[in-house]
Structure 1
Amino acid sequence: MKKTCNGCRAMEASGGGCSLGYITEAASSMWDIELEHQPLEDCPKPITDEKFYEELEKSGRG
């Protein structure tokens, strides 16, 4: 399992949660603002736009 969601296009595209539907939790926050997330289940962590759109198609959300 990945340690954090840093660099993941699915997190960047959603603005707060995983747009591929994977469960995440806040790993760090400051003044009640979630700064970093970590996945609670195995995920592909697409770091390129191409991989993100491939995973989005597979998930049926794209």
Structure 2
Amino acid sequence: MILQGDNIQIMPQLAAESFHCTVTSPPYWGLRDYGIPPTVWPETTYTPMPGLPPVTVPAWTG
């Protein structure tokens, strides 16, 4: 099950020990500035495990 909403409102509604993971993202995502130049990540292709098709991850700067 995936729940979406304000963490402060959603979490108290869940029973204790009823979940394994919580992922949050603050509303200011992408607005932080750590004062360092961005990293350039080149495109890369890899095979996740034998028998699966290759996955290509596009280039990214961030």
**TM-score, normalised by the number of residues in structure 1:** 0.18
Structure with bigger gyration radius: 2
**TM-score, normalised by the number of residues in structure 2:** 0.18
Structure number with higher relative contact order (C-alpha < 8 Å, ≥ 6 residues apart): 1
